[in-house]
Structure 1
Amino acid sequence: MPYRWTTETELELSPHRSLSPRGFAGVILLFFTLVLVPILAFLGTLALWGLLPFAMLALWGLWWGLRRSYADGAITEHLVLTPDSCRLTRHGPRGAHAEWACNPYWVRVTSHEDAGPVKHYVTLSGNGREVEIGAFLSEEERKRLYPELRAAISEMRAAAGPDGGAPRL
């Protein structure tokens, strides 16, 4: 599952991977085999050396494209809720890193049904900023995440109060 609550107050999100490492190896092996079939007819001829570089270039292009797709999808988001802090950390592709934090009492969870880069776009706002969460999830997953997130933040809000979790007198 692309998102899961590790505890009642910690949420981990990551994109779905449709091709496992074993599947990756299978695709490369299948492509290699299918490219070699027509080339075998040219074995022992000079034409083999004219076709082989293009076949290997195509194989390398497939390998590079799949590896790049994996690297671009290497995104993880981690949300930690405590009575005095709501902290979202995002680790993106190629070492990109971003953090956002706010008092849970002031956090607002919004689902933008049609406005946004994707349908049912979920954002957290507070501390003067609005940040996306789980934009890489499917529409159905974002629909499920929104009420769960609202409930979890409401619980923290009730525990925290506007002063950030300080005891109320």
Structure 2
Amino acid sequence: MPYEWSPPAIGTETQRLDMWPHRSLPRRGFAGFMLATCLMFSIPLFALVGTVVLWGLLPFLAGAVVLMWWALERSYASGNMHEALIIDAQEVLLTRTNPGGEVQKWDCNAYWAQAQIYPSGGPVKHYITLRGAGREVEVGAFLSEDERKALYGELRGALKLARERG
């Protein structure tokens, strides 16, 4: 799953949740895909070696490879997102690092923090938010629907545990 609860450090009761978007094509797969694409594009060109037609097709095939490379790199850049949720007996802190590098933070007293799920009506199905300190912020909107459903139960349990300790 593209989220992970870290075990509390020895002597603390702080819980940490890290979330990131799912990457279906890892970097190694990207390199293999680009290599296979170049090879598949070059096979028909062998029959055209020494002809004028080769020079007519080559710019279009090279352009297709460059555009594919650019599109996949943009996809990787948009996936450079991370959310970290730290829950202890006193405070809940959510830090979101967006693809452009800007950081957004939200915090509130752990006693007042509430997890909400909206099965419909949000930007995505089973939209999860945290409410407290007069604000409501989204959590893990980039996760899949099943992952958000599972996360909601875990998040409610973690907040309940923090309230009991506080």
TM-score range for the pair, normalised by the shorter chain length: over 0.9
Q: Distance in 1 between matches of 2:100 and 2:59?
A: 30
Q: Distance in 1 between matches of 2:59 and 2:135?
A: 52
Asked whether 1:127 is paired with 2:160, we answer no
Q: Distance in 2 between matches of 1:62 and 1:49?
A: 21
Asked whether 1:100 is paired with 2:76, we answer no
Spell out the pairing of 1:24-103 with structure 2 (5 A cutoff).
24-103=30-109
RMSD between superposed Cα atoms in Å? 1.1
Q: Distance in 2 between matches of 1:151 and 1:34?
A: 52
Query: What residue is the counterpart of 1:136 in the other structure?
Result: 142
Residue identity (%):
49
Q: Distance in 2 between matches of 1:41 and 1:95?
A: 48
Question: TM-score, normalization: structure 1?
Answer: 0.91
Aligned with 1:137: secondary structure? coil
Matched pairs, number: 160
Identify unmatched segments of 5+ residues in structure 2.
9-14
Query: What residue is the counterpart of 1:147 in the other structure?
Result: 153
Q: CA deviation at 1:51?
A: 1.1
Query: What residue is the counterpart of 1:7 in the other structure?
Result: 7
Question: TM-score, normalization: structure 2?
Answer: 0.92
Q: CA deviation at 1:7?
A: 2.0
Q: Distance in 2 between matches of 1:94 and 1:38?
A: 40
Q: CA deviation at 1:158?
A: 2.3
Q: CA deviation at 1:111?
A: 0.5
Query: What residue is the counterpart of 1:110 in the other structure?
Result: 116
Aligned with 2:111: secondary structure? helix
